[in-house]
A = this chain, B = another copy of it.
Amino acid sequence: MTMDKQKQKDLEKKGWKIGSAKEFLNLSEEESSYIELKIKLSANLRKLRTERKLTQVDLAKIIKSSQSRVAKLETGDPSVSLDLIIRSLFALGTSDKDIARTISY
């Protein structure tokens, strides 16, 4: 499952430019939904941070983490949990409704 995510990143790097992971990989519906959800929220996190003109170092301080972890957060690294993404969004003042909107697109 962690491997699938890696596989996806590898494909993306090779320029596959996939929109939805599902058709290329043998991911279950749950698994791809979960991954796509993480990607949506990660992208939203980066959007919020850059809108506020914060660097990754700035955000790292706010969430009491490190620049490298923030980078991983934003690039959807398989090693980051949904928990950390959500916590970070809340730390930036995101509301439940904002998160809901992001999830629904």
Q: Which residues of A contact B (CB under 8 A)?
A: 29-30, 33-34, 37, 81-83, 86-87, 90-91, 96-97, 99-101, 103-105
Are A86 and B96 in contact (CB-based, < 8 A)?
A: no
What is the total number of copies of this protein in its complex? 2
Return the contact of A37 from the options B34, B81, B86 (Cβ within 8 A).
B86
Are A30 and B87 in contact (CB-based, < 8 A)?
A: yes
Q: How far is the CA of A104 from the CA of B100 in the complex (A)?
A: 6
Q: Is the interface of A mostly helix, strand, loop or mixed?
A: helix
Q: How far is the CA of A103 from the CA of B101 in the complex (A)?
A: 10
Are A97 and B104 in contact (CB-based, < 8 A)?
A: yes
Are B101 and A34 in contact (CB-based, < 8 A)?
A: no
Are B30 and A91 in contact (CB-based, < 8 A)?
A: yes
